[in-house]
Amino acid sequence: MEFWPLILGLLPSIAWLIFYLSEDKNPEPKKTLFLAFLAGSITTFVVLTVQIFANKFAINIGIQEHSPVSFFILGGLEELFKFGAVYWVISKRPEFDEPIDAMIYMITAALGFAAVENISAAYSASLPTALETTTLRFFGATLLHTLCSGLVGYYWAKSILNNKKNILIFGLTLAALLHAIFNYLIIKYEPVIVPTIFLIVFALFILHDFEKLKK
């Protein structure tokens, strides 16, 4: 069994995790971060199964594959299940004790989710192709997962502070919409320039939200 796809698939998630954790002034316990990462990883398999049935159901009721509605449904499932993973595994732990933790743990779970996708993509390709795919996913799908989950984490923190669940629902809906837009741009245009510009703009807002919670 070759181990290079495993290592290659993990690299984007590890790199982004180091970046985001460096922004946290009060580092979270490594054990809890690992639990969030693991929860996100396991969620990938659950989401894939649910998406298969959801996609078949959508087609049966007349929703075309690769349509905006289809992208919204499938993206929404990913965001909902990533949130669910952190909520059930992390949110009741004593380490979850400040607003920014919602973003930190959501991003960590998202990176676990993305790691499984990246490893799967690496195993299904030759080394040169896998290197190219991993590079594209580093600036594409992996970053997208962190941004969408970071957005959910931001609105989750606001919902806790204001004791209003509708704020969280808005955040999940917005994340699903942005996820859908990214996937649509990849299909409609090409996998590099336009989607990357979209993610850069998206990232600026997320970093701004990150700074607001830190204060």
Q: What total of structural domains would you count in the chain?
A: 1
Residue 2 has pLDDT above 70, yes or no: no
- In this structure, the chain runs to a length of 215
CA dist 101 and 91 (Å) reads: 9
pLDDT confidence bin for 193, thresholds 50/70/90: confident
State the helix-helix crossing angle for 99-123 and 141-162, rounded to 10 degrees. 160
Q: Report the Cα 3 to chain-centroid distance in Å.
A: 24
For the cut 60, the answer to whether the pLDDT of residue 1 exceeds it is no
- 147-167 average pLDDT score: 95
Question: What's the number of CA atoms in the CB half-sphere (13 Å) around residue 189?
Answer: 14
pLDDT of 34 strictly over 80: yes
Q: Does residue 192 carry a pLDDT above 80?
A: no
Which residues fall within 8 angstroms of residue 85, CB to CB, at 6 or more apart?
36, 39, 40, 42, 43, 109
Residue 191 has pLDDT above 70, yes or no: no
The counts of H helices and E strands in the chain are 8, 0
Alpha carbons within 13 A on the beta-carbon side of 91: 15
pLDDT of residue 213: 83
Higher pLDDT, 172 or 187: 172
Say if residues 191 and 121 touch (Cβ distance below 8 Å): no
Please compute the mean of the pLDDT values over residues 124-141 and round it to a whole number. Answer: 85
pTM assigned to the model: 0.93
pLDDT at 95 over 90: yes
How far apart, in whole angstroms, are the C-alpha atoms of residue 82 and residue 85?
5
Q: Which domain holds residue 72?
A: 4-22+30-91+98-214
- The share of the chain scoring above pLDDT 90, in percent, equals 69
Least confident of 21-30, 91-100, 143-152: 21-30
197/200 Cα distance (integer angstroms): 5
Q: State which amino acid sits at residue 207.
A: L
CB–CB of 159/106 below 8 Å?
Answer: no
Does the pLDDT at position 129 exceed 90?
no
Q: What is the pLDDT of residue 12?
A: 93
Residue 26 region by backbone torsions, left for phi larger than 0, else alpha for psi between -120 and 50, else beta: beta
- pLDDT confidence bin for 4, thresholds 50/70/90: confident
